[in-house]
Amino acid sequence: MTVPAQRHVAASSAPVTDEGSARHRLVDRIRERTARIGIVGLGYVGLPTAVAYADAGFTVVGVDTDAERCAAVGRGDSYIEDVDRGDLRRAREKDRLTAVTALRDAGDLDVVDICVHTPLSDTREPDISAIEAVGEALVACQRPGQLVVLTSTSYPGTTEEVLRPILERSGLVIGEDVFLAFAPERIDPANQRFTLRNTPKVVGGVDPVSTELACMVMSTIVDIVVPVSDATTAEMVKVLENTFRMVNIGFANEVAMICRRLGVDVWEVIESAATKPYGFMPFYPGPGVGGHCIPVDPSYLQWKMRNLEYRTRFIDLGDDVNRSMPGYVVQRATDVLNDVSRSLRGSHILLVGIAYKPNVGDIRESPGVEIAEILVKRGAAVRYVDPHVESLTLHDGAALSRVDLSPSVLSESDLVVITTRHDGIDWDLIRESATRVLDTRGVRAARGRADWHTL
């Protein structure tokens, strides 16, 4: 870990001199764990954050417009794979976590952490309407000594240019009466090694006091807090991280196409290059990028830059390559079938893995879903295997059949397409019982009878 030690702000070390001020009162409440914390948006990010604050000793009120999610929290039922039911129940039993559907019912809050979704619109433009809606609701609930933290990922400038003007309508002065910061989340669903606690958190306030207070509250749930100059810097840090990943995956996808033309195995090339102990970082090709972050966040930056009349060439190219991948996979499937005199239309295709990444049930922006859509449109008979995705409805409203992996399911399929590499899938069974396989995830044939093809 290269974060300088002096940048870690611990709750006990925050310098506070102006006794009696809004800031001072908030510092005391954070130190004494008497601060009431509101988490707005109880999804993949908000729910674990709410549980973490409850675990740190705070009284937490979750706010989510989804009444079912609030009811589940009330029962102590976790609907997010990474949130342990036991942790949620413990928070409930200690009366440290409740959930309501509207901010106005949350009572007096010292800290409000906004964790609502930030998707793309149909025209792939940022849709920050949920952030704006929370801001509007907050105007009526603000009071001196309140800290508002935006956690939702958005384009650089959102905190200063969008949220700040909305909050200022309360008449309270930001930096004196109330405080505002951006502190992006780095939660990686299903990652057992890096959790909310041991993943450093970047924090940028709209002024130094806001930064200090946000660092202080964050340091109660994460080990290392990294303060940066301002909110816009913190926003840029977040989009850089995800754009870096998206561009590099795009490059790995292009390398896969290069390797195919050279007749070499792309996985062997990348894994061998990764033995270099410096100056190389492996990224792997696949059927495209999915989830709420990697395909979405770079588009937020592209949009912002378009408004500033700057063309983001690397980002545009990476995005272009990644978005072409589902179509490329279908073309590869068509070619593999063509080689044995079969057409895609009428072929039985089994997709292995529909979630966007291993060991999660999240299908948002999943390339597996897009591949299924294209295959069905072209007349293939498609079924899928995914232990984490119980059902899948395509755009036309038709349900895709889910099956369990078995020798007969495999042998009945003209082609098996591996789209997600979940743990627990019996790859040897696929190697032995499938007739032909298109492997987009580097599972590799090893030995076995199946006719094995890669990207």
In DSSP notation, 111-158 reads EEEE-----B-TTS-B--HHHHHHHHHHHHH--TT-EEEE-S---TTI
State which residue, 72 or 333, has the beta carbon closest to ligand NAD: 72
Supply 374's token pair: 């294209």
Contact status, residue 86 vs residue 120, Cβ threshold 8 Å: no
Q: 415 φ, ψ to 5°?
A: -150, 135
State which residue, 130 or 226, has the beta carbon closest to ligand NAD: 130
Task: Please state the closest distance from residue 351 (CB atom) to ligand NAD, in A.
Answer: 23
Rounded distance, CA 302 to CA 311, Å? 8
State which residue, 30 or 134, has the beta carbon closest to ligand NAD: 134
CB atoms within 10 A of CB 14: 16
Q: Which residue is nearest to ligand NAD (CB)?
A: 43
Supply 421's token pair: 């590499």
**Distance between alpha carbon 65 and the CA centroid of its chain, in Å?**
20
Rounded distance, CA 267 to CA 272, Å? 8
Contact status, residue 211 vs residue 203, Cβ threshold 8 Å: yes
State which residue, 45 or 417, has the beta carbon closest to ligand NAD: 45
Rounded distance, CA 77 to CA 194, Å? 24
Task: Please state the closest distance from residue 77 (CB atom) to ligand NAD, in A.
Answer: 14
Task: Please state the closest distance from residue 118 (CB atom) to ligand NAD, in A.
Answer: 4
State which residue, 22 or 353, has the beta carbon closest to ligand NAD: 353
Q: From residue 395, give the alpha-carbon distance in Å to each of 72, 310, 367, 386, 392.
A: 28, 34, 14, 19, 10
Task: Please state the closest distance from residue 119 (CB atom) to ligand NAD, in A.
Answer: 8
Task: Please state the closest distance from residue 44 (CB atom) to ligand NAD, in A.
Answer: 4
Rounded distance, CA 220 to CA 29, Å? 12
State which residue, 238 or 332, has the beta carbon closest to ligand NAD: 238
Supply 264's token pair: 């070499």
Examine the residue annotation and report whether 70 is marked as an active-site residue of this protein: no
Task: Please state the closest distance from residue 209 (CB atom) to ligand NAD, in A.
Answer: 25
Q: Which is it for strands 59-63 and 97-100: parallel, antiparallel or unpaired?
A: parallel
Catalytic residue among 70, 141, 215, 293: 293
Binding interface with ligand NAD (CB under 6 A): 40-46, 63-66, 69, 115-118, 130, 133-134, 152-153, 185, 187, 189, 292-293
Catalytic residues: 293
